[in-house]
Amino acid sequence: MRSVWALAVMAALSVLTASTTTLAGEPKQGGTLRIYHRDSPANASILEGATYSVNVPFMGVFNNLVIYDQHIAQNSPDTLRPELAESWSWSSDNKKLTFKLRQGVKWHDGKPFTSADVKCSFDLLMGKSQQKLRQNPRKAWYNEVNEITTSGDFEVSFDLKRPQPSLLAMLASGYTPIYPCHVSPADMRTHPIGTGPFKFVEFKANESIKLTRNPDYWKKGLPHLDGIEYTIITNRSTAILAFVAGKFDMTFPTHITIPLLKDIKSQAPNATCVVEPTNVSTNIIVNSSSPPFDNIDIRRAVALALDRKAFVDILFEGQADIGGTMLPPPQGIWGMPKDKLETIPGYGPNVNANREEAKKLMQKAGYGPDKHLAVKVSTRNLAEYRDPAVILIDQLKSIYIDGELDVVETANWFPKVARKDYMLGLNLTGNSVDDPDQSFYENYSCGSERNYTNYCNKEIEKLFDVQSQEIDINKRKPLVWDIDKKLQEDVARPIIFHARAGTCWQPYVKGVTIMSNSSYNGFRYEDLWLDK
């Protein structure tokens, strides 16, 4: 059994050292936090959502079994905290994870929370219940879970097929709230009921989302705020101007690009702004199932042609990160160290030398100064996709590849990629949890729905399982690095950069922590307060 008290002490210490946390003075009760929301989410059900547009406003309605410490920017196994679970323990063979649940917790409609609700939530996620989620984008997270069993009203166990320490990380994600058994998935889309610090009031599509304080919250004295109001403003210029004018207390988290951040700082010099990695990588998807990219030499040439620093300098004024599949350190827990990264072809600092090598590969494949390869570079019709795609096309020119931008509407992007109707694509991949299991299985395992390039390497898949079962994080890291290096060398999905983005809030907003290795897990907002 792990000591919850020890964790609590660690949490208290880390609160004092958290770099992007603003805590000052004695918290004041009251006030409504006003945030603009970047778009109108499809519905209010986090379990069915696949964008942080759902997590940000609705995470405050719920609790998880465990959660990442909301005052520590970096999510890591050391920052896991109990929430609806009071404690947890692994069996000796690490195949059974048991949670002791908190007693006296009530749903917002007054009904008691019990282990049945936990079982219902995960049966729903695993597709084992009578009721079904309309969409279940994270079903694969629970592939290694055999079943959920309860023992009385306040104990629940996860029986695993094999050890998987990362299960706790996934349970701590903002994407894994506990739902009530007695409310249908359909009702949870329109009127969510949770146990969290805020009760749902209303969601007017394209207008606003309102939450109010839960006076019966099981954490006594919390939340500090009377409520939170999200005003949906899809036009970024309007939203930022409104923040500058003081209509909002906070911008939508990680919504401010680096160039816009300078505008805000000049117009609202008192605002507090932080820039953190979003754990969203911009990468290239290559259709290796048809010519010309069925030729590994051409795929390698593309990877060698990348000048990643140029992307970072142009798009982020130098404030983004270069790495492999996993978010690079220091914010990323699992990313390769710089010296290892630079041994991967294309990651070395000498771009010209890399491109000379790429040219030789292209010439070997029959292309050269007199015979260019014409390709369409497909991407989604969103600025964060289009802008790097244009730079990519420019860089590919240096190795005899003439790219033509093929902008695809969002509705058609995934179907197009899924039916392999593209040659070369520029894609963004978000990781809700900074853990290799989430990233490797989802994006690189044979047959995964999100493995857009159909990369399939049975040998490397065995290594996925090996790292996944490793309990010791220090032993697991080198395994992860080797896999990540191999994925880059295989040109499975060349990573160009990991983005960073800014968040700003007014000086009187206290207790905000922006997570530095995930954009999905830090919005409980139970101890935010307004110093005014």
Partner 1 sequence: MFAYLVRRLLLMLVTLFGISVVIFVLLRIVPGNIVDILFAAAGYVDPADKANLEKELGIDQPLIVQYWHWISGFLRGDLGYSYVSEKPALQEILPRIPITARLAGLALLFSASIGIPLGVISAVKQGTRLDYALRVVSLSGLSLPSFWLGLLILTASVAMFGQMPIFNPNPQTWLEAFATYAVPAAAVGFRSAALTLRITRSSMLEVLRQDYIRTARAKGASDAAVNYHHALKNAILPVITVIGIEAAFLIGGLIVTETVFNIPGVARFLVEAIRWRDYPIVQNLVMFIAVVVVVANFTVDMLYAVFDPRIRYTD
Residues at the interface with partner 1 (CB under 8 A): 40, 42-43, 49-51, 132, 134-137, 139, 186, 189-190, 203-207, 231-235, 237-238, 241-242, 244-247, 267, 409-415, 418, 449-450
In the complex, least distance from residue 409 CB atom to partner 1, rounded to whole angstroms: 7
Nearest to 496 by CA among 422, 393, 365: 393
Exposed/middle/buried for 318, CB within 10 Å: 0-12, 13-18, 19+?
Answer: exposed
- 59 vs 233, beta carbon nearer partner 1: 233
In the complex, least distance from residue 68 CB atom to partner 1, rounded to whole angstroms: 22
In the complex, least distance from residue 147 CB atom to partner 1, rounded to whole angstroms: 21
Kindly report the number of other CB atoms within 10 A of residue 308's CB atom: 20
Kindly report the number of other CB atoms within 10 A of residue 374's CB atom: 10
- 264 vs 326, beta carbon nearer partner 1: 264
- 115 vs 453, beta carbon nearer partner 1: 453
- 222 vs 389, beta carbon nearer partner 1: 389
In the complex, least distance from residue 231 CB atom to partner 1, rounded to whole angstroms: 7
Q: Which helix (DSSP H) or strand (DSSP E) does residue 516 occupy?
A: none
C-alpha atoms less than 13 angstroms from C-alpha of 477 in its C-beta half-sphere? 14
Q: To 10 degrees, the CA torsion angle through 449, 450, 453, 456?
A: -60
- 242 vs 258, beta carbon nearer partner 1: 242
Q: How far apart are CA 532 and CA 523, in angstroms?
A: 21
Helical ranges in 18-146 per DSSP H: 52-58, 115-125
- 267 vs 343, beta carbon nearer partner 1: 267
Nearest to 212 by CA among 186, 194, 187: 194
Nearest to 452 by CA among 381, 372, 380, 352: 380
In the complex, least distance from residue 202 CB atom to partner 1, rounded to whole angstroms: 11
Exposed/middle/buried for 261, CB within 10 Å: 0-12, 13-18, 19+?
Answer: buried
- 232 vs 460, beta carbon nearer partner 1: 232
- Mark 39-68 as b/e (b = at least 16 C-beta within 10 Å): ebbbbbbbbbbbebbbbbbbbbbbbbbbbb
- 88 vs 179, beta carbon nearer partner 1: 179
In the complex, least distance from residue 45 CB atom to partner 1, rounded to whole angstroms: 11
Q: How far apart are CA 326 and CA 444, in angstroms?
A: 12
In the complex, least distance from residue 127 CB atom to partner 1, rounded to whole angstroms: 9
Beta strands in 169-328 (DSSP E): 198-204, 208-213, 227-232, 272-286
Q: How far apart are CA 498 and CA 88, in angstroms?
A: 33
- 134 vs 162, beta carbon nearer partner 1: 134
In the complex, least distance from residue 36 CB atom to partner 1, rounded to whole angstroms: 9
In the complex, least distance from residue 512 CB atom to partner 1, rounded to whole angstroms: 23
- 172 vs 232, beta carbon nearer partner 1: 232
Contact 477, 292 (CB under 8 A): no
DSSP code, position 21: B
First to last CA, the chain: 43
Q: How far apart are CA 77 and CA 18, in angstroms?
A: 16
In the complex, least distance from residue 444 CB atom to partner 1, rounded to whole angstroms: 14
- 203 vs 316, beta carbon nearer partner 1: 203
- 246 vs 259, beta carbon nearer partner 1: 246
Q: What phi, psi does 335 have (nearest 5°)?
A: -65, 155
Contact 211, 198 (CB under 8 A): yes
Contact 230, 206 (CB under 8 A): no
Three-state DSSP state, 388: helix
Kindly report the number of other CB atoms within 10 A of residue 229's CB atom: 19
Which two structure tokens, joined as six digits, stand for 132? 């079904």
In the complex, least distance from residue 121 CB atom to partner 1, rounded to whole angstroms: 18
In the complex, least distance from residue 153 CB atom to partner 1, rounded to whole angstroms: 32
Q: How far apart are CA 134 and CA 294, in angstroms?
A: 36
In the complex, least distance from residue 132 CB atom to partner 1, rounded to whole angstroms: 7
Alpha-carbon torsion (107, 111, 114, 119), positive or negative: negative
